[in-house]
């Protein structure tokens, strides 16, 4: 029997309706680069208004060890450094860079040459031998790489284990269990060899003896592609086919499915000997080490209630305003950053694609059902993968009972949305739980 996590979980319709290939979007004439595109301290600008910058140049350095640098995907002039409205509707500091038609033409030429060279490069199983572990971590840090599965934790931090901490397995997340999204699936099909080499580099960087790539069984093409790419690897890397169940891509659920070990409340995966990274992160690591390419582009999915011709995976420059994406949004629809389960509304489409943007899902408001009173059925409890009581946590959030929420382990919530999805009364459980998590954290301080 295929493995999965034991507690809770649901099976929402996959709706993987995007084209499985990867289309390329042109570079924008204006990029917006927020300084907080990662967990940790915001990046600090190393350029000033009026400066001329080149494609791939560092424009903001990491603000601390737990931080990540920002690089520009276009050559141009720094137009401003200041506060702009982000997709969430909340202001944030960002660097704006304008370019010219001539500069864009040169950048596109360089961009095309790079991708041709990278895609045709033969697998080099000795790549990791050329660098020490410290040198690899330094290159990963210099490239501004963060976790591309959504959490955006700086990749070099996860790979910098303390001497007294020993990890037994590097778990690579290829599940992409979120409905609608297909960017990781498309990446695994298109670049399995590069992902495999990226995993080898991360094993060397962290000093971990083996890696397991977890992929759900609804992605047979990706499974076959990665297994073929790993046939001649000198490293201990295997593919584990997992039973499709949401939210299997959550760190705690994925580690449990692969290792059989459950991560304790409040603990990290390394507490049970695991380090988790995403397949897209592995691809970015390969680019950084093999070609000295910083994280300035990523693959995203555009999907949902939009024309079929627009539903696809796109390679997009980080900093591209979302208003420039090929996305026709109906008047009665809302745009979600990410997928429908864990995503959040995009309130400002002038805001940019950032490192953590996995996709945009457009859903018509007509899909929403009217909210009804709780019927005490317990469906939310059965669905919760963390073994919590969502109906109770939501009530605490609604009544602003922050201390009670904290005492009921609201901090353990993954915000996966399984409770709201399973509720027959369509109650906004996750909305109130999110509020409770936020305020309970403040209350605990």
User: Using one digit for the tens of pLDDT, what is the confidence trace for 393-425?
Assistant: 999 999 999 999 999 999 999 999 999 999 999
pLDDT of residue 163: 86
pLDDT at 367: 63
Q: What is the pLDDT of residue 326?
A: 95
Give the per-residue pLDDT at 331. 86
* Nearest residue to 244 (alpha-carbon basis) of 184, 175, 185: 175
Summarize the confidence of residues 235-252 as an average pLDDT: 97
Convert the pLDDT of each residue in 289-341 to its tens digit.
999 999 999 999 999 999 999 999 999 999 999 999 999 999 889 999 999 99
pLDDT tier, 370 (very low <50, low <70, confident <90, very high otherwise):
confident
Q: What is the model's pLDDT at position 366?
A: 59
Average pLDDT over residues 242-247: 97
Going through 35-184 in order, the beta strands assigned E by DSSP cover 44-45, 52-53, 58-61, 70-71, 76-85, 91-98, 169-173
Is residue 443 pLDDT above 80, yes or no?
no
| Residue 376: Cβ-neighbour burial (10 angstroms; 0-12, 13-18, 19+) | exposed
Q: Residue 1 — pLDDT band, cuts 50, 70, 90? A: confident
Mean pLDDT of 55-80: 97
In this predicted structure, what is the pLDDT of residue 444? Answer: 57
CA-CA distances (angstroms) from residue 55 to 148, 253, 317?
21, 39, 11
Q: What is the reported pLDDT for 441?
A: 76
Nearest one of 140, 146, 122 to 194, comparing CA atoms? 122
Report d(CA 306, CA 141) in Å as an integer.
Answer: 37
* Range 221-229 average pLDDT: 97
**Nearest to residue 355, comparing CAs of 298, 398, 309?**
298
How many CB atoms are closer than 10 A to CB 361?
28
Q: Kindly state the tokens that stand for 241.
A: 């086919």
DSSP 317: E
pLDDT tens digits, residue range 90-146?
Answer: 999 999 999 999 999 999 999 999 999 999 988 888 899 999 999 999 999 999 999
Taking the C-alpha atoms of residue 43 and residue 110, their distance in angstroms, rounded to an integer, is 26
Share of the chain above pLDDT 90, in %: 90
Find where tokens 């500091």 sit.
Answer: 93
- CA 383, chain centre distance (Å): 23
Q: What is the mean pLDDT of residues 416-442?
A: 92
- Predicted pLDDT at 142: 97
Residue 40, φ and ψ in degrees, nearest 5: 120, -165
Q: What is the mean pLDDT of residues 373-381?
A: 95
pLDDT at 374 over 80: yes
Instruction: Work out the mean pLDDT of the chain and round it to a whole number.
Output: 95
């Amino acid at each position: 029997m295929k493995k999965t996590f034991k507690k809770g979980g649901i099976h929402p319709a996959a709706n993987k309706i995007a084209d499985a290939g990867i289309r390329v979007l042109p570079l924008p004439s204006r990029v917006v680069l927020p300084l907080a595109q990662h967990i940790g301290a915001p990046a600090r600008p190393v350029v000033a208004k009026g400066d001329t910058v080149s494609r791939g140049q560092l424009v903001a350095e990491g603000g601390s060890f737990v931080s990540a640098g920002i690089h520009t995907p276009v050559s141009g002039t720094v137009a401003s450094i200041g506060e702009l409205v982000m997709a969430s509707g909340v202001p944030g500091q960002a660097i704006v860079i304008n370019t010219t038609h001539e500069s864009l033409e040169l950048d596109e030429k360089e961009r095309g040459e790079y991708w041709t060279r990278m895609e045709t490069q033969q697998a080099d199983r000795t790549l990791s031998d050329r660098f020490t572990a410290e040198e690899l971590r330094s290159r990963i840090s210099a490239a501004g790489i963060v976790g591309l599965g959504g959490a955006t934790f700086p990749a070099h931090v996860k790979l910098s284990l303390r001497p007294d901490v020993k990890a037994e397995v590097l778990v690579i997340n290829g599940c992409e269990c979120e409905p609608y999204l297909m960017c990781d699936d498309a990446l695994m099909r298109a670049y399995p060899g590069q992902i495999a080499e990226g995993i080898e580099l991360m094993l060397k960087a962290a000093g971990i003896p083996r890696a397991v790539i977890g992929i759900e069984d609804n992605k047979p093409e990706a499974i076959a592609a990665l297994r073929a790419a790993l046939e001649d690897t000198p490293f201990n890397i295997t593919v584990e086919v997992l039973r499709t169940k949401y939210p299997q891509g959550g760190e705690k659920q994925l580690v449990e499915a692969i290792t059989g070990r459950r991560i304790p409340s409040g603990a990290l995966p390394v507490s049970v000997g695991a380090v988790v990274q995403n397949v897209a992160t592995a691809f970015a690591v390969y680019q950084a080490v093999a070609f000295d390419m910083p994280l300035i582009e990523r693959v995203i999915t555009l999907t949902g209630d939009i024309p079929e011709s627009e539903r696809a995976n796109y390679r997009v420059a980080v900093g591209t305003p979302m208003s420039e994406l090929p996305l026709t949004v109906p008047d009665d629809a809302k745009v979600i950053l990410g997928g429908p389960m864990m995503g959040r509304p995009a309130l400002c489409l002038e805001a940019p694609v950032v490192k953590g943007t996995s996709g945009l899902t457009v859903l018509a408001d007509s899909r929403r059902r009217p909210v009804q009173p709780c019927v005490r059925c317990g469906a939310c409890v059965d669905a919760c993968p963390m073994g919590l009581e969502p109906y109770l946590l939501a009530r605490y959030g609604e009544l602003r009972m922050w201390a009670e929420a904290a005492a009921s382990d609201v901090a353990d919530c993954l915000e996966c949305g399984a409770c709201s999805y399973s509720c027959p009364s369509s109650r906004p459980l996750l909305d109130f739980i999110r509020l409770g998590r936020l305020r309970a954290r403040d209350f605990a301080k």
